[in-house]
């Protein structure tokens, strides 16, 4: 292949935020035709490094060379002009616009009147080339997370980018969608693009990447050829120790359920039924997993139980007491804690870490008398939780908006698991989304520990591995209904995968 050896070369990049050095003399290279994985714990500085390449941040020191030329990237516009595209974890799409509209927005070559026919043809060709099924005319809000990601990729492809950055692209995908994405990435690489894949999942490194760079505390500690390394070495590089295995010896008491839902019907945002006639019992010390492609009513179900969404029909009993449609505060007080799917929406980004940590518990006598909050106690608790949940933040008075993705997740987990007294039920939606492997391990242990202490856990996840490792039973949800329930010992990836697409249990086994 002719041309420069590297598409991108970043040398000695330094980026400081108030009180944090997010990138400390980092070097990074990207070759044409490679998928380059970027690994590292939460807060290691991966997103910052790539945001610098994409022009969102400007480095305090260091040089960026693209196609063998030194460049100065002042904003995403400059990056796009250089052929650099980025797919963020939070999709940057306009939901009410069509796929085509999202793709062509901001393209100067369009002329005044949009040539819909021509654009649709070109997009259809690209879509077919990658074996996707989206239509240029669908509205983005109608698409699944995986399809939205295809729109983001389409945006990059249509702009003919040669360098593509993906920030934790698989955290919102189903296993099938992940496989499809990786095929796409390989295809792009085979056409000479350079792809950067930020991820926490080691399997992904081995299934798709050619090289891997590991970051730790703002520095790059190693770059390896994937063929010449192994999981153990990468774990060691990332966290400095091997991983533990989860084991739990729990005995369930199935005489009386803690939480009992019967015939729940809940509406989604668009006013359609998102949860249809869902009934289940959750016992003391049980972890009940809910499997399903996201968007099949799981989030709405948890929100309804937590009192954040109206239950149209049906009943929720907590220890025999009716909590259907009670005020969220009452439900919190009754011992229900809720780990939401969108952590940013359920935190106050402009407030401090300490304030966010006690957002639910500040009324409690531990932190307040009848009139005043006792900030000394709040701060002490905050310091304690920051340590226990390993939240990477310079001070507890740091704004939450400044934390890295994984650290906001950790903060919400600390709030839900660490501040509320006498928790009986934990509703957990994707609790390990965006967490690095060490933190994931820690949260798994925390949930198991709680279960051993008798707390009942309702766990929504898209990671079958996670569900199968933790759950005593797994319920599969599809289009708002429970398709079937499996007990520990009956788990089978294929079967659950099929049920997630709506195939009923009996049909599966028959």
Partner 1 sequence: MIELVESVLVGAVASGTVFLLASLGETVAERAGVLNLGMEGMMIMGASLSYIFTNALGHGWAITAVLLVGAILGLLHALFTVSLRLNQVVVGLAFTVLGLGLSGLLASNEIRGRIILALNPEASPAVIASQEAAKLPPIPIPGLVNIPIIGPMIFSHNILVYISLILAGGLWFILFKTSFGLSLRSVGENPSMADALGVNVFLIRYIAMAICGALGSLAGAYLFIGYQPFWVEGMTQGRGFISLALVILATWNPLRAILGAYLFGGVEALQFRLQLVGVAAQLPYFLLMLPYIVTIVTLTLLSAESVRKRIGVPAALGVPYSRE
Ligand X SMILES: Nc1ncnc2c1ncn2[C@@H]1O[C@H](COP(=O)(O)OP(=O)(O)OP(=O)(O)O)[C@@H](O)[C@H]1O
The Cβ-side half-sphere exposure at 41, using a 13 Å CA radius, reads: 22
Terminal C-alpha separation, the chain: 54
- The CA distance from 130 to 146, in Å, is 14
| C-beta closer to partner 1: residue 62 or 76 | 76
Tokens 């049909």 identify what position?
507
220 binds ligand X (CB under 6 A): no
Q: Which of residues 355-414 bind Mg ion (CB under 5 A)?
A: 405
345 binds partner 1 (CB under 8 A): no
- Which CA distances in Å does 277 have to 20, 258, 302, 477, 482? 49, 20, 14, 11, 8
83, 85, 307, 405: which one contacts ligand X (CB under 6 A)? 405
Q: Which of 450, 292, 401 is nearest to 302 (CA)?
A: 292
| C-beta closer to partner 1: residue 77 or 187 | 77
26, 39, 64, 80: which one contacts partner 1 (CB under 8 A)? 80
Among partner 1, ligand X, Mg ion, none, what binds residue 42 when CB lies within 5 to 8 Å by partner kind?
ligand X
| C-beta closer to partner 1: residue 70 or 77 | 77
17 binds ligand X (CB under 6 A): yes
Residue 201 Cβ vs ligand X, minimum distance, rounded to whole Å: 12
- The CA distance from 299 to 308, in Å, is 11
Q: Which residues contact 37 (CB under 8 A, 6 or more apart)?
A: 197, 198, 199, 204, 205, 208, 209, 211, 212, 213, 226
| C-beta closer to partner 1: residue 107 or 239 | 107
Determine the size of the site formed for partner 1 (CB under 8 A): 24
Q: Which residues contact 81 (CB under 8 A, 6 or more apart)?
A: none
- The CA distance from 88 to 69, in Å, is 26
| C-beta closer to partner 1: residue 287 or 302 | 302
Residue 43 Cβ vs Mg ion, minimum distance, rounded to whole Å: 8
300 binds partner 1 (CB under 8 A): no
Residue 79 Cβ vs partner 1, minimum distance, rounded to whole Å: 9
- The CA distance from 57 to 382, in Å, is 30
- The CA distance from 480 to 275, in Å, is 4
Count of residues in the chain: 510
29, 48, 356, 432: which one contacts ligand X (CB under 6 A)? 48
Check: CB of residue 340 under 8 Å from CB of residue 371: no
Determine the size of the site formed for ligand X (CB under 6 A): 18
45 binds Mg ion (CB under 5 A): no
Question: What is the signed CA dihedral for 434, 63, 24, 242, rounded to 10 degrees?
Answer: 50
Strands 253-267 and 273-284: antiparallel
Q: Which of residues 417-456 bind Mg ion (CB under 5 A)?
A: none
Does residue 292 come out as left (phi exceeding 0), alpha (psi in the -120 to 50 range) or beta? left
| C-beta closer to partner 1: residue 404 or 419 | 404
421 binds partner 1 (CB under 8 A): no
- The CA distance from 496 to 467, in Å, is 11
| C-beta closer to Mg ion: residue 227 or 345 | 345
Among Mg ion, ligand X, partner 1, none, what binds residue 17 when CB lies within 5 to 8 Å by partner kind?
ligand X
Sequential DSSP letters for 155-170: HHHHTT-SEEEEESGG
Q: Which of residues 257-286 bind ligand X (CB under 6 A)?
A: none
- Render the burial of 421-448: b for 16+ CB within 10 Å, e for the rest: eebbbbbbbbbbbbbbbbbbbbbbebbb
| C-beta closer to Mg ion: residue 405 or 431 | 405
Helix axes of 145-158 and 175-190: crossing angle, nearest 10 degrees: 10
Among Mg ion, partner 1, ligand X, none, what binds residue 45 when CB lies within 5 to 8 Å by partner kind?
ligand X
14 binds partner 1 (CB under 8 A): no
In degrees, rounded to 5, the angle at the alpha carbon of residue 438 between the alpha carbons of residues 434 and 440 is 50
Q: Which two tokens stand for residue 353?
A: 């870490």
Tokens 């402009």 identify what position?
350
Binding range to ligand X, per CB under 6 A, among 64-72, 96-104, 259-267, 401-409: 401-409
Binding range to ligand X, per CB under 6 A, among 15-23, 106-114, 118-126, 202-210: 15-23
| C-beta closer to partner 1: residue 97 or 363 | 97
47 binds Mg ion (CB under 5 A): yes
Does residue 41 come out as left (phi exceeding 0), alpha (psi in the -120 to 50 range) or beta? beta
7, 8, 20, 154: which one contacts ligand X (CB under 6 A)? 20
Binding range to ligand X, per CB under 6 A, among 131-139, 219-227, 304-312, 402-410: 402-410
150, 294, 356, 407: which one contacts ligand X (CB under 6 A)? 407
Phi and psi for 171 in degrees, rounded to 5? -65, -20
> What 3-state DSSP class applies to 6?
coil
> x/- string (CB under 8 A) for partner 1, residues 216-255?
----------------------------------------
> x/- string (CB under 8 A) for partner 1, residues 84-123?
--------xxx-xx---x--xxxxx-xxxxx-x-------
Looking at residue 365, the DSSP 8-state letter turns out to be T
The Cβ-side half-sphere exposure at 506, using a 13 Å CA radius, reads: 0
228, 269, 350, 494: which one contacts partner 1 (CB under 8 A)? 269
471 binds ligand X (CB under 6 A): no
> Which positions lie near ligand X, rule CB under 6 A?
17, 20, 22, 40, 42-48, 392, 402-407
> Which positions lie near Mg ion, rule CB under 5 A?
47, 405
> Which positions lie near partner 1, rule CB under 8 A?
75-77, 80, 92-94, 96-97, 101, 104-108, 110-114, 116, 269-271
């Amino acid at each position: 292949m002719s041309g420069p050896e590297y598409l991108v070369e970043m040398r000695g990049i330094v980026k400081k935020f108030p009180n944090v050095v997010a990138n400390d003399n980092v070097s990074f290279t990207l070759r044409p035709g490679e998928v380059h994985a970027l690994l590292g714990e939460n807060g290691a500085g991966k997103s910052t490094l790539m945001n610098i390449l994409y022009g969102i941040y400007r480095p305090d020191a260091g040089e960026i060379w693209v196609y063998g030329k030194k460049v100065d990237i002042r904003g995403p516009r400059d990056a796009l002009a250089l052929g650099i595209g980025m797919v963020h974890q939070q999709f940057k799409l306009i939901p009410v616009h069509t796929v085509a509209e999202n793709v062509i927005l901001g393209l100067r070559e369009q002329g005044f009147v949009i040539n819909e026919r021509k654009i649709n043809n070109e997009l259809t060709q690209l879509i077919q080339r990658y074996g996707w099924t989206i239509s240029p005319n669908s509205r983005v809000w109608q698409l699944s997370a995986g399809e939205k990601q295809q729109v983001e990729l389409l945006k990059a492809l249509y702009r003919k980018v040669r360098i593509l950055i993906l920030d934790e692209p698989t955290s919102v995908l189903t296993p099938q969608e992940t496989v499809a994405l990786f095929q796409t990435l390989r295809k792009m690489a085979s056409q000479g693009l350079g792809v950067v894949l930020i991820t926490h999942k080691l399997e992904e490194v081995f299934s798709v990447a050619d090289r891997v760079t590991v970051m730790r505390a703002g520095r790059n500690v190693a770059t390896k050829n994937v063929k010449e390394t192994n999981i153990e070495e990468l774990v060691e590089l990332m966290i400095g120790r091997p991983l533990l295995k989860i084991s739990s010896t729990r005995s369930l008491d199935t005489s009386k359920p803690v939480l009992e839902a019967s015939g729940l019907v809940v509406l989604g945002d668009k006013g359609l039924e998102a949860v249809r006639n869902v009934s289940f019992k959750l016992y003391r010390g049980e972890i009940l997993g809910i499997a399903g492609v996201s968007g099949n009513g799981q989030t709405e179900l948890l929100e309804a139980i937590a009192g954040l969404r109206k239950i149209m029909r049906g009943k929720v009993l907590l220890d025999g007491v009716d909590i259907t449609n009670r005020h969220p505060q009452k439900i919190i007080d009754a011992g229900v804690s809720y780990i939401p799917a969108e952590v940013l929406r359920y935190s106050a980004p402009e407030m401090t870490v300490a304030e966010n940590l006690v957002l639910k518990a500040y009324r409690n006598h531990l932190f307040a008398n009848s009139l005043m909050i006792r900030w000394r106690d709040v701060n002490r608790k905050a310091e304690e939780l920051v340590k226990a949940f390993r939240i990477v933040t310079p001070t507890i008075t740091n704004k939450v908006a400044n934390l890295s993705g994984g650290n906001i997740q950790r903060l919400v987990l600390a709030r839900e698991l660490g501040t509320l007294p006498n928790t009986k039920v934990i509703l957990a939606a994707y609790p390990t989304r965006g967490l690095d492997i060490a933190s994931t391990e820690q949260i798994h242990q925390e949930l198991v520990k709680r279960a051993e202490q008798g707390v009942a856990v309702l766990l929504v996840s898209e990671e079958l591995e996670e569900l199968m490792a933790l759950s005593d039973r797994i319920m599969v949800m599809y289009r708002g209904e429970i398709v079937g329930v499996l007990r520990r010992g009956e788990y089978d990836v294929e079967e659950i995968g099929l049920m997630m697409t709506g195939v009923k249990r009996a049909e599966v086994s028959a």
